[in-house]
Structure 1
């Protein structure tokens, strides 16, 4: 015979702004945890930017913001041809992901052009 079991659960009620803040905090924690200790190459950035051409990424996103990327620790290594000490671009994933997010409006407009 089946027995009834009483279950007591807490139900939380959030205001829309509170819920959105909680969701964003959770998203950020997941992103950060997933990216900690990871490095990215240009190809990884290309995937995240949905197929922008490598040449456009370097010419209109990376090179114009090279000093900024170095100063925030997003860029770990870059090619000799760009004045660096390596043979390819290598990025710290956590910092580069945040930088891309912070600059997505400009990136989606084609990046920075030296006019």
Structure 2
């Protein structure tokens, strides 16, 4: 039996994944958000809220680190960047953003805009 997730279920799953990140990975994921610029506003707001809450538990990235990640992500908004960030938390943050990117693409190309 094949099941498909609607936008609400997809966002709930993404938020659960975001809440499971370490605080540092949540900071990195926040910096990577420009890579999923085509996410609907409701999804973006939900993910950013969850990530900001999770990231609040630790010291933030330095402004230089955050800007470097953000600028790199923003430079390639339509093809998810595969750059290397030398941080053990980066793969977890990257996986969340890749998943969000793919879910948004799936909904955009399939059943219309995600969200409810």
TM-score normalised by L of structure 2:
0.25
Greater fraction helix: 2
Greater fraction strand: 1
Q: Relative contact order, CA 8 A, sep 6+: which one is greater? A: 2
TM-score normalised by L of structure 1:
0.26
